[in-house]
Structure 1
């Protein structure tokens, strides 16, 4: 069957209902993502006003942290997809079992990363020659975050399960509370206010870890009241090989995608550092503003995954297609509008992170490019949502790996090192990669090839007992 983003075989009344449900799910997710981005952005802003070395050190550490999240991504994506499909057919045991098995998988990985924290400085040598002060700050930040990785792991999988069950408000609330605490603790621990020691970069990392644990507590309280996620808790909490296999089969390709992307970012950072530490500082600001601009798209992607997953569980592929169409329309409307503002007025956003004139001027390059490419970000967010909902994570992984390693990195290398375009060259390579990915995913969706995997995923959750339906 062929699909389209222009028209679908769903009545207008049902299409409007889908749009309302998407907005209902997306708005809290957008707010949550905004708050989630603030974790990193608050650190960047406070550290940027402390020194550019502190900001760059935390940025380098985060590049490695993204790589270490591989199993966390597998668990959270797998749990989200299985829970949303199970919720669609009322299979409470499958939803609950997926959550608690996903938690165990995440915690195992988090404890392993705690052990790896002792090698933090060695890991950072992958970047080659780095300013000694930047390296010291990066090592402090990386070690602290790895020691507290269980907070990130639990927030990721608990939030994924809640969103999959249709509850996008609780993750937003938990992230909001954690962020308010993070802002206070960042200011207090970085600069030594309110009786706290002046811990600088270590303080920023510790504030993040503590704040996330508070968010975990809020989510756990909500899960204990969620009928889909605490069903027969004593039974659901036991390791279940079939459920773990389902989580891994869906989530592992997404984890592979995240790993290939994060590993690519390490190489990308190494290429960019050839243009000097100031260029890298400008790049980190550009990345933060790109993340800020992507918040609506991420929220819509979450809503598409949740709603399309529920329809996919019922094997109603016409409505899955309707969700994809409305999701793209919504993402494009919001993100293109935001892109115009970002392109025309980059400086006010940049000055949130630094007042250093040279870095402000450098950062204008990536920020304006972010504004120009918003339509591709909108397209990818909607396509990612529907492909994840239907279990087509392997295709996304393959596309990402090819696009990162055959387009972004070679193009950035040539433009930065051979043509001496510096930050502009690196970001042209980056935006070429993102545009290619989004278009290829669109063609895959339009072809209808994704249907086969979608039906396989729905078959895993279609056994519903009488107690599940009661």
Structure 2
């Protein structure tokens, strides 16, 4: 039976994380709208493509890679009351985060044009995208290091400071977008270049806010000297845990891109309906992500304290909240799908197809919640390999082959594709739940043995 104290702790961790995701989604939407209003489809395409490339690489190697590894080790060390050990893991995680961020940022800057050409950009989209990527590559360095710092804060149970940092980044980004894209307050209208400058400045300010917090609050008593010291053994431990998490993100992102390419084969109506339905569904991801963060932190701390029943309870509470909220979204997808579609487009054909996609999406919401939360619990407990294996199977052995069959062989429409993703998430959610229980039981037996 879960106590009120445990429920409160989960909510205190999860809700700021959900708020953080909402803030970043707002800036993404508004940035796209302002760029589109200034420069039209070429500007939107350039910023959209360049951003997709930059943030995909950032997520694979740092945000969902090194950050996951350091979160797990710091959380477990804190749970075991080994604060000096937590400090060493945190300092080494920051060192690796800075190194990884510098490499990715440098490659984005030096190879911007080649990467965009490889992605299919040409003409004006290539020219604008190159300008955006070169400038934004500077900002993404600070963003990735900030993500590593935020991961450590979450491992200590602090999700409010990352949310505050996100609010600062978002407000500043939107304000600077308005000034620099359109040329307000005496500044020249810079369009895409202005958007990149705004994003970069916002990321730099957000980084320095989090750094200031570390210094003022003396988080884990970390010093600059600690961060600059390289410890081979600790670095290898973090990297070993980070690699499966990075590969999981890579497997998901690449399969998603291939899925989009296949759906484009179905025509513009199907593609537009799918993109809008996916955008609407992405709102429901946020509770799942927030409670997954809470599950990662608390499962890690409980496993570190060898309180395995506590790890089960905290993860179950997180899953219950995520499934309940995302289940409510299922009801909206079932009852008012056309109303949701009309908020994005007026085309009756696209609305009709997209509404059917959303109705099918209602099936997968509870399973998606379970997959995200119990996957987070597994990572917190120190097992990143199982989530990677499960996600790889669901993406590459279920989703892509079945999508190929329904699109190219059976020649069914995009709605059938959403039935495939519902099947994929049903497998992933069930598998994450079963393997989380298995992992905790294995840890229990190891202690008894």
Q: Provide TM-score, normalisation by structure 2.
A: 0.87
Q: How does 1:220-369 map to 2 (within 5 A)?
A: 220-231=211-222, 234-276=225-267, 280-346=271-337, 350=341, 363-369=354-360
CA distance 1:121–1:232, change in 2 (3 Å):
closer
Alpha carbons of structure 1 residues 52 and 160: separation in structure 2 relative to 1, 3 Å:
same
- Secondary structure of the residue that 1:155 maps to in structure 2? helix
Say whether the 8 Å CA contact 1:93–1:231 is kept in structure 2: no
1:195 Cα offset (Å): 3.4
- Provide the residue aligned with 2:61 in structure 1: 71
* Counterpart position of 1:39: 27
Aligned to 2:155: 164
Unmatched segments (≥5 aa) in structure 1: 1-11, 459-470
Alpha-carbon displacement from aligned partner over 1:188-224 (angstroms, at most 9, x marks no partner): 3333333343333343333222212221112112222
- Quick one: distance in 2 between partners of 1:275 and 1:312? 48
Q: C-alpha offsets along residues 13-40 of structure 1, whole Å, 9 cap, x if unaligned?
A: x533211211121121111121133332
Question: What is the CA–CA distance in structure 2 between the aligned matches of 1:387 and 1:453, rounded to whole Å?
Answer: 12
CA distance in 1 between partners of 2:271 and 2:50 (Å): 13
- TM superposition shift of 1:429: 3.4
- Alpha-carbon distance change, 115 to 173 in structure 1, aligned in 2, over 3 angstroms: closer
Q: Which of residues 28, 44, 60 in structure 1 aligns to 2:49?
A: 60
CA–CA separation in structure 2 for the residues paired with 1:216 and 1:382: 27
Change (3 A) 1:148 1:426: farther
State the Cα distance separating 1:160 from its structure 2 match. Answer: 0.5
How far apart, CA to CA, are the structure 2 residues paired with 1:352 and 1:46? 18
Task: State the alpha-carbon separation in 2 of the partners of residues 278 and 142 from structure 1.
Answer: 30
Distance 1:347 1:237 in 2: 55
Q: Secondary structure at the match of 2:111?
A: helix
Q: What is the CA distance between 1:316 and its match in structure 2? A: 0.7
- Residue 107 of structure 1 pairs with residue 116 of structure 2: no
Shift of 1:295: 1.0
Q: Does 1:120 align with 2:112?
A: yes
Q: Distance in 1 between matches of 2:320 and 2:88?
A: 35
Taking only aligned residues, the RMSD between alpha carbons, in angstroms, comes to: 3.0
| Larger proportion of helix | 2
Structure 2 residue 71 is matched with structure 1 residue 83: no
Q: 1:410 to 1:143 in 2, by over 3 A?
A: farther
Equivalence map 1:177-216=2 (5 Å) = 177-216=168-207
Worse-matched range after superposition: 315-324 or 35-44: 35-44
Distance in 2 separating the partners of 1:411 and 1:449 = 30
Higher deviation after alignment, 206-215 or 41-50:
41-50
Q: Is the 8 A contact 1:52 1:281 kept in 2?
A: no
Residue of structure 1 equivalent to 2:140: 149
8 Å contact kept, 1:336–1:374 = yes
Once the two structures are TM-superposed, the CA of residue 172 in structure 1 deviates from its matched residue by: 0.8
Structure 2 unaligned runs (5+)? none
1:264-304 C-alpha deviation (Å, 9 max, x unpaired): 22322322333456655554443333332111111111111
**Deviation per residue, 1:59-92 (Å, 9 max, x gap):** 4334433441222132111111111112222322
- Give the whole-Å Cα distance in 2 for the aligned partners of 1:419 and 1:133: 38
Equivalent-residue separation in structure 2 for 1:132 and 1:62 (angstroms): 18
What is the TM-score normalised by the length of structure 1? 0.83
Going from structure 1 to structure 2, the CA distance change for 1:330 and 1:314 (only over 3 Å counts) comes to same
